[in-house]
Amino acid sequence: MSKPVIFCVDDEPQVLRSVARDLRSRYGEDYRIVASDSPREVLEILDELSAKQQVVALLIVDQRMPELSGTELLRRAKPKCPDAKRALLTAYADTSVAIQAINDLGLDYYLLKPWDPPEQNLYPVIDDLLEDWQSSFIPPFDGILVIDDRWSSKGHALRDFLARNHVPYRWLDVESDASAENYVADGVELPLVIFPDGERLEQADIEQVVERLEITTRPDSEFYDMVIIGAGPAGLAAAVYASSEGVKTALIEQNAPGGQAGTSTRIENYLGFPSGLTGSDLARRAQTQAERFGTQMILTRDAVGLSSDGHYHQVTLDNGDVMSCKSVLISVGVNYRQLAGEGIQRLEGAGVYYGAAATEAAMCKDQEVVIVGGGNSAGQAAVFLAQHARKVHIAVRGATLSDSMSEYLVKRIHELDNVELWWHTQVRRVEGEQHLEQVVLEDTHDDKQFTINAAALFIFIGAIPRTEWLQDVIATDKQGFVLTGADLMHPDNDLDWPRERRPYLTETSVPGIFAAGDVRYGSVKRVASAVGEGSITVQFVHQYLRDK
């Protein structure tokens, strides 16, 4: 494959030469740098590249050009290279234009001129944009092939696992993709997974694929300074800070790094990312960061036991491995609350999904989908799915979104023409033989029912903590959320705290065992707060170890 293209466009010759020089110096080995002072010439070249099936990775465009403004050029260029990252070169006076372009065009970044020195002001930005582009770029395929029926719950779980763990794969639907016939003969049992070396797995499941991919599933040491259970934002943040400070750290994750936040289709209010990022991107970046500092990631394993002898702690995994450590952080997050309704459980994974199910979004093209819930996760899913589905229905139990959803999402949803809100509404049942076909909703004010022909139902109705296995180990509230810090000392809890000092902010009823993120009682259910809790816990771990 020829090198991906980086385009730089500016009508000022001196600026254009400077941009092209800096780009070639840093990226010339891996990318083809194309410079032009004419926006219209750029559009012609993009047509030629598209005809030759050459890939454009990045467009860096000046805003103030008399022939065509930068934002207008990017708008016209998007259909020609929809997957390319886009950056705008602006003067300080044009920042409001750039910010507007983030909202209107999905601009990825804007750079203020001048950017000298490039090592500080240019390259880190371009590195980040190109890394993001590479993470979603699909080169000529040479990875895992998954062949299955669209409505297979087992196949859906497998595809979702691969996507969330950033394992490149291509999926063929046996019902709609004619090329699937080249791989599936009579008697083949689906899902079928074909690896690049030709090895085939019939009736493949996640455990088999994990073993074949040699993903780390067992600890490489018997003892750690800190064991973190759960790789959501809190756990990943703690891993980054602990490992970077020399704390020997292991991070256990049952499904995929990122937790529920990792399934978010767009997080737009996270500090430092003005054009937003997906939960998957955030998880990928954090995992890479943690591993770079030395965290051992133990994936597809679940913690099923926790004990303490007063000096050290032992974590038991679902395969029988026991990990000893000086401190533990519980950041297991929460599970989606199950929706009560006839047919829900039977069709789960076959049109009924908990979470955003970005894996299924493309298959909702030109169809109708239903979302249940009124929180931020539901709002993010609605905005994302509206780009694919013909119509998105949102069923909300209350009379407003503002009570539980961020205002920027409320505004975005009301601006979408293909989103319809149903107030005081709940799901009564779902119908379909092999897969979801209809969702029956009920208006709770007048008990009237109505039916929507839907390809998918996405459920976001709150969550419950994943702490059943901890009930006899540490103190929780009645719902199962872990009590920490000052909440342990409340007279109503009747707990015997075993130390003279007071418990640290995120410390549980057992000294040296901490909790952070959504699983902690009183936590703010936001990504940024979870990251903060995970980060600050590392300082409490240091204090705890000094106390010992």
Percentage of residues of the chain with pLDDT beyond 70:
98
pLDDT at site 226: 98
Alpha carbon distances (Å) from 477 to 337, 487, 530: 17, 10, 19
pLDDT of residue 185: 77
Q: What is the pLDDT of residues 496-539, one digit of tens each?
A: 888 889 999 999 999 999 999 999 999 988 899 999 999 999 99
CATH class for the region spanning 144-213? alpha beta
Domain extent listing, the chain = 5-136, 144-213, 223-335+473-547, 352-461
Residue 547: count other Cβ atoms within 10 Å of its Cβ.
12
Weakest-pLDDT range from 13-22, 66-75, 160-169, 370-379: 160-169
d(CA 240, CA 539): 13
How much is the average pLDDT of 285-302? 95
Residue 158, Cβ neighbours under 10 Å: how many?
24
Q: Can you name the CATH fold of 5-136? A: Rossmann fold (3.40.50)
Quote the pLDDT of residue 100: 83
Mean pLDDT score of the chain: 90
Please state which CATH number belongs to domain 223-335+473-547.
Answer: 3.50.50.60
* Exposure on the CB side of residue 356, measured as CA atoms within 13 A: 29
pLDDT at residue 491 tops 70: yes
pLDDT at 6: 94
So what's the pLDDT on residue 540?
97
Please write the tens of the pLDDT for every residue from 228-245.
Answer: 999 999 999 999 999 999
pTM: 0.78
Q: How confident is the model at residue 141 (pLDDT cuts 50, 70, 90)?
A: low
378 in Cβ contact with 353 (< 8 Å): no
pLDDT of residue 138: 66
Which pLDDT band, with edges at 50, 70 and 90, does 92 fall under? low
* DSSP symbol at 482: B
Count other C-beta atoms under 10 Å from residue 332's C-beta: 29
State pLDDT tens for residues 391-448. 999 999 999 998 889 999 999 999 999 999 999 999 999 999 989 999 999 999 888 9
User: What confidence tier does 139 reach under pLDDT thresholds 50, 70, 90?
Assistant: low
Whether 489 has a pLDDT exceeding 90, the answer reads no
- Three-state secondary-structure class, residue 98: helix
Q: Indicate whether 172 pLDDT > 80.
A: yes
Answer whether CATH 3.50.50.60 is correct for domain 352-461: yes
For 228-290, the DSSP string reads: EE--SHHHHHHHHHHHHTT--EEEEESS-TTGGGGG-S-B-SSTT-TT-B-HHHHHHHHHHHH
Whole-number percent of the chain with pLDDT over 90: 57
Per-residue confidence (pLDDT) for residue 93, from 0 to 100: 61
Which two three-digit tokens encode residue 334?
């929460």
Evaluate whether 287 touches 231 at the Cβ level (below 8 Å). yes
- What's the pLDDT tens digit per position in 320-341? 999 999 999 999 999 888 998 8
Report the distance separating Cα 548 and Cα 308, nearest Å. 14
Mean pLDDT for 476-493 is: 90
Task: Give dist(CA 111, CA 118) in Å, integer.
Answer: 11
In angstroms, how far is the first alpha carbon of the chain from the final one? Answer: 58
Decide which of 225 and 152 is more confident: 225
Give CA separation, 366 vs 265, 347, 359, 385, in Å: 19, 21, 16, 11
Going by pLDDT thresholds of 50, 70 and 90, the confidence category of residue 357 is low
Domains 5-136 and 144-213 alike in fold: no
Mean pLDDT (whole number) for 140-161: 84
Place of tokens 């009736």: 203
pLDDT at 268: 84
